[in-house]
Chain A
Amino acid sequence: MDLELQTALDEFSVIAVWSAITLYVLAFVAFAYDLSQRASLAPAKQRGTVLVGAATGAAPAPPAPEPAEPSLRVPASERSRRYWARLAIAFTGLGFVLHLAATITRGVAAERVPWANMYEFALIGTLLIIAVYLAAVRWFDLRFLGVFIAGMVVFFLGGSAMSFYVEVTPLMDPLKSIWLIIHVFVASLATALFAIAAGLSTMQLLRARRERLQAQGEGSVEQGRGYLRTLPNSDALETLAYRFAILGFIFWTFTLIAGAIWANESWGRYWGFDVKEVWTFVIWVLYAGYIHARATRGWRGTKSAWLSLTGFAAVLFNFTIVNLFFKGLHAYSGIS
């Protein structure tokens, strides 16, 4: 491709990325504002659950019944109509469109899939997080998760755009493979699913703590973190987190196998305990541990939620620290 055209496309891509980041920041603010509103307002339309005393803040309120929802599966028409949450979703959707445009133009400029170095991994990874989130919101009322998702995406996309940006360069030979397309894409998809699961597990932990305190009859529960009151109960959060985690786990298993096949084509062995392989394996085993913990008496609930978060911490570690600081064969960050 003509160098000027390439540069122009890449410049457009960068502008689109920063515009997307701006929109995600706005979405983050709107999501956060929505949460704070949930905290101060009695959610009158929370499917028939009426909270007593919370709105007025008068006198020590009696422990209000929590809106225990069996499932988060709420059709859009039945959701509470909160202005800020809807605005936040709109910002996120618009950000996604720009983000997608940025990713596609980057790919066109590079004449290959836009996921071949750190900057591009972040681009596609966060794009898929938003995509999975927006898709999930169609079925489940996950608007309370928006702060977590938007915040994380702003952090990683913004951080990568600032620190990891590299101009378009041709692919190195080992990367010229159909497996680049499959392996990296599936890994990013798994990461996106794990991210949603981690968000839900976080909320589960917060919510479970509140439920514990409430069971102990502590009055202070009504103050602070009031938005937790409006969340589904911790069981429902856990169940949904698990469902995202197992989908992520299936894709991660596929990532592992696709990586091994690629390694066998490229390096002449399918498994060699290269650092990146080690961490992919560690993540896989951690999530297998999580799935088993969910099936083990005494481990379901809070303990398994911590495992889900540990797994996701390992995913993030694998993407950041291992890519940047560990010495191995996977030297594809494009950062020197």
Chain B
Amino acid sequence: MSSSRSERDTLPARPSDHVDSVEGSVPESGLGWRGWLRWAWRQLTNMRTALLLLLMAVAAIPGSLFPQRQADPNGVVQYYDDNPELAPVLDNFQLFDVYGSAWFSAIYLLLFVSLIGCIIPRIKHHAKALRSPAPKTPARLQRMAAHSSHELQLVEGRTPDADIEQAITIAAAELRRRGYRTARYDDATTWSVSAERGHLRETGNLVFHSALVGVLVTVLFSSGLNYTGDRVIVAGTTFVNAESAYSSFAPGRFFDRDSLTPYAMTLDGFDVEYVEPGRPGAGQAGNFAAHLTIREPGSEETRAETVRVNAPITVDGDRIYLLGNGYAPMITIRNAQGDIVYQEPQPFLPQDSAMTSLGVVKVPDGLPEQVGLIGFLYPTQSTLETGASYSVFPDLINPRLTFNVFTGDLGIDDGTPRSVYQLDTESMTQITGGDTGVDSIELTPGDTADLPDGMGTVTFEDLTATEGADEPVKRFVSLQIQRDTGATWVLIFSILATAGLITGLLIPRRRLWVKATLINPVIGDRKVRIEYAGLARGEDPGLERAVTQFSEAHLSAVAEQLPSPLFKKGTP
């Protein structure tokens, strides 16, 4: 229930358009620049918060309609390819970077400036309210939202004042027992107690809004100090934490590049389970676990850790996440003389849920020409009617590797960094597969095939044979390594915000008055009128019930505690 209008003016520090506040006014002309400045500031802090919030909600939506550089950079590239005309226009409006855009930032900064301008005076006001006694009992209680009045006959022959006073004292004690702060306001013919409770409501509201500011400030300031990087580690190999070792590295603006700790991580093994064929969800992979050995600098000791999905590990303040996994077939390439010119477990990137994987092998030296191979690995190969291969199951049941061979310029001599997962075939010639008329190379583990033109051979090593491994093909994991300095604080502020929200929304804030008035007519009986009234501050559906309950409790307490029959119940 909304509060009574008569109390509006006792609710300062509310926006001027708050339902409980007095209507504001436009400054009169001739205020001078200071006046105007003050007026502008008041407008800003009194801005229709609801409107600004709606604006922010609407402004956030385009970020879900268009791919965002931050969350989905490939999506943006794709969008450019699909809509070459439209994309640059959208880009001009920063629609691929909505949450960092000038206009989105303007909205939330406006909102937060307005918020800060709003909470500071409210905090001041609230601090004062917390220390001051409950306000004077209003003269006319019947104007309050909840009100009831009872008239009691006074028994003749006693001075009633002390008894009436006592009745109000009982009320005050009862109110305090119920968590109200009370103050007495008595005069010649009236005795009253003014009680107030629920300052926690405003406290909660202020904690909530301040915590939101806390979240925003933490995010803005900590994001510059963080970094995120991705790295692929093949089983049996070691990664040393240095910027150059990352396959992608995204530091914040103020990130100190010298602050990376050079710890070393070795991938000892990787576990994964697949749902068996024939069961629902067949082929679904799960229970991923990457077993790592970690050595931190300055210590000879190593420790073993396991990274799982949903269970990152922490090394030296960095959090390490398991992002993905795949196969890294060991491939050996020999030249015509039989010398090894290439031998590496090359990570192949999974393309589908059955782990059909795509990989690239680049041989810059040792063969007559530079050679690039684009390969597909099918862990469990099967053939479509068209003759095309595909994988039916993600585990290594019937592994098969196919290669298309390219010769020419790999484009790596000029020092331009090239992805190890992509082959730029622009200045190369395809010599197997596709339209060449020469079949693609197809290998099962342990097989060796000739490269065209007698250049040499390529071997798909079977590691069970060469290394005594459990599986013919090695696995790799991709890890995300990151430092997030602000997360803990964001969490703390979020918890504060939630706690503030719950108290701010659910704790009723109300005032209650009990007033006794001695009615001493010239003719007729002397009577005492006892009034109960309540006033809500903000939403308070329970107000009326609270007032009724209290009046009943108080009347019976008075009947019990005062020697009877001092009062007799009269006409209500």
Contacts and interface: CB of A to CB of B under 8 A. Distances in A.
Interface in A275-316: 275, 278-279, 281-282, 285-286, 288-290, 292-300, 307, 314
A289 B53 contact: yes
Contacts of A289: 50-51, 53-54, 57
**Size class of the contact patch on chain B:** 35 or more
Contact of B501 (A71, A250, A279): A250
Nearest to A299: B50
Interface in B116-159: none
Interface string A164-183: 00011111111011000000
A111 interface: no
B64 A171 contact: no
B541 A268 contact: no
A79 interface: no
Given A270-B490, A272-B71, A174 B309 contact: yes
- Among B23, B64, B70, B279, find the residue whose CB has the most chain A CB atoms closer than 10 A: B64
A231 B313 CA distance: 58
B425 interface: no
A249 B505 CA distance: 10
B165 interface: no
Contacts of B1: 239
A269 B501 contact: no
Interface residues of A, number: 62
Interface string B300-321: 0000000011111000000101
Contact of B310 (A168, A249, A265): A265
A246 B60 contact: no
Given A282-B57, A293-B50, A172 B480 contact: no
B310 A292 contact: no
- Among A73, A266, A275, A295, find the residue whose CB has the most chain B CB atoms closer than 10 A: A295
A173 B279 CA distance: 17
A300 B312 contact: no
A296 B280 contact: no
B159 to A, nearest CB: 41
Contacts of B466: none
B497 A326 contact: no
Nearest to A178: B310
Interface stretch (B188-196, B282-290, B564-572): B282-290
A76 interface: no
Where chain A touches its partner, the secondary structure class is helix
B262 interface: no
Interface string B501-512: 110011000000
A254 B61 contact: no
Given A273-B71, A273-B99, A297 B541 contact: no
Interface string B273-298: 00100011100111110000000000
B356 interface: no
A173 B484 CA distance: 24
20 contacts: A71-B541, A170-B284, A176-B309, A243-B539, A250-B502, A253-B501, A257-B498, A260-B494, A264-B484, A265-B311, A268-B228, A268-B323, A268-B480, A269-B228, A272-B71, A274-B71, A278-B63, A289-B53, A292-B49, A300-B2
Interface of B: 1-2, 15, 17-21, 23, 48-51, 53-54, 56-57, 60-61, 63-64, 68, 70-72, 75, 98-99, 219, 228, 275, 279-281, 284-288, 308-312, 319, 321, 323, 480, 482, 484, 487, 490-491, 494-495, 497-498, 501-502, 505-506, 538-539, 541, 544
Given A249-B505, A285-B56, 7 more contacts: A176-B309, A239-B541, A270-B490, A273-B99, A278-B60, A294-B19, A296-B19
